[in-house]
Homo-oligomer: A and B are copies of this chain.
Amino acid sequence: MTADPHPWSKELGTLYDHAWHRLIRGVHDRRAPARHPTLATVSSQGLPQARTVVLRRADRASGRLEIHTNLFSAKVAELKATPVAALHVWDSGSRLQIRVQADVVIAHGDDVAETWSRVPEGSRSAYSRSSVPGSLIPEALAYESTPDAAAFAVVHLHIRLMDLLHLGSQHRRAQFVREGGWVGNWVAP
């Protein structure tokens, strides 16, 4: 009999610990699964939208995550109208699905000047006003990408609920919600 590779999946406390460990790893390790979560939002027409984002910060104490985006992107327009998001990670090494539901606050301009100052030069071209993401262009490369601090936005995700699903020899699933501290319950997978 081989040892259980994922003993942390057995208890609510260690499962929750492990999920935060993997989220924080995503911020610091470009190759970690949580580096590139999928962010889902709702469009002004009520349609679900999903795209890859880069996880920039994960703070367990406050239950907050952070991503960066172009202030003129569709996702910001959607989040201004409907300030809730879902964030999804499938961590294949841990056989763990992390699903987050969060309230969203968008910051830009002077409020994010310090964060902007820490964005590497080579990454700044994603934040441009000259070509709005998703706008029609006549040729594939007929767009500009002049860095512009005024196009830089920070999306703060205030976690409301975390749903963790571990796929082992027997599946385990739990949900954690804020009630003063974080309270977890097992649910059917």
**Residue positions of A touching B, CB distance < 8 A:** 10, 36, 38, 40-42, 46-52, 82, 84-88, 90, 97, 99, 101, 131-143, 170, 172-175, 185-189
Contacts and interface: CB of A to CB of B under 8 A. Distances in A.
28 contacts: A10-B140, A36-B90, A38-B50, A38-B88, A40-B49, A40-B50, A41-B48, A42-B48, A46-B82, A46-B84, A47-B84, A48-B48, A49-B86, A50-B50, A50-B86, A50-B87, A50-B88, A51-B97, A51-B99, A133-B173, A133-B187, A133-B188, A133-B189, A134-B188, A136-B187, A138-B186, A141-B172, A143-B189
A55 to B, nearest CB: 13
Contacts of A131: 188
A146 to B, nearest CB: 13
- Residue from A48, A51, A132, A141 with most neighbouring chain B CB atoms (10 Å): A48
A137 B97 contact: no
Contact of A134 (B87, B143, B187): B187
A90 B172 contact: no
Contacts of A172: 140-141
A51 B189 CA distance: 12
A135 to B, nearest CB: 5
A155 to B, nearest CB: 13
Contact of A188 (B51, B97, B132): B132
